Amino acid sequence: MTGFTHLNDKGEAHMVDVADKPDTTRVAVAEAFVAMQPETLALIVSGKHKKGDVLATARVAGIMAAKKCPELIPLCHTLLLTSVKVDLVPDEQKNGVYIEATCKLNGKTGVEMEALTAASVAALTIYDMCKAVDRGMEIKHVRLNTKQGGKSGLWQRA
């Protein structure tokens, strides 16, 4: 492991200068899982939730969150995302919704934080929309699964 890139030689936080880095295609995939009661999942899947389409709302929230990442996370660069995809898959075996967020761009720095933010906010949106019927929901496994591009190349979760 290398040192922290967001700390200068005095240990002070700073934004990393990426001006001299070459543009490359960069992709990151993150995931999250929202565990819930079977009845809550059935309500989401049926589309009969009184607040509307939970999965569609969470998808849009995740996309919007990726675009707002530098406003939420200090020291993140403003990026020109070329693609944000948020997939939400109900899992009746595990009683929850699996979320996968994929962010892509051609640029000088990676999109890991944007993918993680998209997955997190999609999960939070599900929680917000369903908390009146299931306060015991749990947001689990928010993590990066794949990162590719740039000098470090491909990284995948084992």
- HSE at residue 64, side-chain half, CA atoms within 13 A, is 10
Helices (H), the chain: 38-46, 54-67, 69-72, 112-130
> How is residue 21 annotated by DSSP?
S
- Which residues carry out catalysis? 128
Q: Which of 20, 6, 3, 4 is nearest to 151 (CA)?
A: 20
**Paired residues of 143 in beta bridges:** 31
The DSSP annotation for 88-115 comes to EEEETTTTEEEEEEEEEEEESS--HHHH
Q: Are strands 96-107 and 24-35 parallel, antiparallel or unpaired?
A: antiparallel
Q: How far is CA 26 from the centre of its chain?
A: 15
